[in-house]
Amino acid sequence: QGGVFTRYWFALKKGYHVAFKNISKTDNFIEEQIDPHKEVIDRMTDLSMLRLFETYLEGCPQFVLQLYIFLEHGQANFSQYAAIMVSCCAISWSTLDYQVALRKSLSDKNLLKGSCPKFTYLFYKLFTLLSWMLSIVLLLFLNVKIALFLLLFLWFLGLLWAFKKQTQFCASVSMEFLYRVVVGFILIFTFFNIKGQNTRCPMFCYYIVRVLATVGILVVFWVSPVSVFNSDYFMPISITIVLSLVLGIIFLIVYYGTLHPNRKEETKPDEIDGKMAQGDCRMKYFIMD
């Protein structure tokens, strides 16, 4: 929260200075090398990233808890349904917001323009997230220890991938480790390209594992002789999980197949998430997808 506040303050002050003050370009050599507009955009991108971290670290556990309580009691009013949908939409929207902000801060990236690509990306995240959250909740009803073990195992795999990619976001080793821990946690719930490189194969593997895990959870739940909650809910929940996953994959294919900004680059037609990071480009310091 301190990081969010300080960056908000800097962005507001710098933005006001850029918008309403005359900027002298001859103050000193260092200031001549800094584009104030670019600096403000970079700070806003940092803010979007911090909000993304906060949303996943707080929103995902809360969303799982909301679903668990709802299914356990078997009764809910309109406000509870609305709260569940708002939570899921907020998590997905934070991902879209960061994607848009990040592309603005990178000179070698095409902007994510138009409502159609944005909504397609939003629905891709929304449906895949909803399907996976419901699957996790079903597994929690079946066996809490198994569910926690699965989440810890997925977090460990995400952490290993972050270390393998050798992210360089923080100045100190300890803070970089914390950053990779957070990245690993986010990878439990959704896919991120953490260095802006071509991730066709990792993304394919990620969602193959997601589909297999979801199907496995449903199969185990169907054959389980134990009735963990009202059976009337299981059929619609199973249908929701399957439909959400299918719709999420469809929106993913449509987005990366036809609407991704870099699809316009004929030099790299099969690139999913952008060009390879070069030099000290901001790309290598940020989560990208």
> 120 lies in a domain?
yes
The answer to whether 47 and 11 are in contact (CB under 8 A) is yes
- What is the pLDDT, as a whole number, of residue 275? 43
pLDDT in tens, 195-228: 666 678 888 999 999 999 999 998 888 887 555 5
Q: Which two tokens stand for residue 169?
A: 């976001």
pLDDT in tens, 61-88: 888 888 888 777 766 667 777 778 888 8
> 128 lies in a domain?
yes
> 202 lies in a domain?
yes
SS3 147: helix
Closest CA to 260 of 111, 156, 70: 111
- What is the pLDDT, as a whole number, of residue 282? 53
Domain that holds residue 196: 35-143+191-259
> 92 lies in a domain?
yes
Comparison of pLDDT for 116 and 44, the residue scoring more: 116
> 246 lies in a domain?
yes
Q: What is the mean pLDDT of the chain?
A: 76
pLDDT in tens, 171-197: 778 888 888 898 899 999 998 776 666
SS3 205: helix
Domain count, the chain: 1
Is residue 9 over pLDDT 80? no
> 235 lies in a domain?
yes
* DSSP symbols for 47-114: HHHHHHHHIIIIIHHHHHHHHHHHHHH----HHHHHHHHHHHHHHHHHHHHHHHHHHHH-TTS----S
> 2 lies in a domain?
no
> 170 lies in a domain?
no
Is residue 44 over pLDDT 80? no
- What is the pLDDT, as a whole number, of residue 261? 80
- What is the pLDDT, as a whole number, of residue 277? 41
- What is the pLDDT, as a whole number, of residue 107? 73
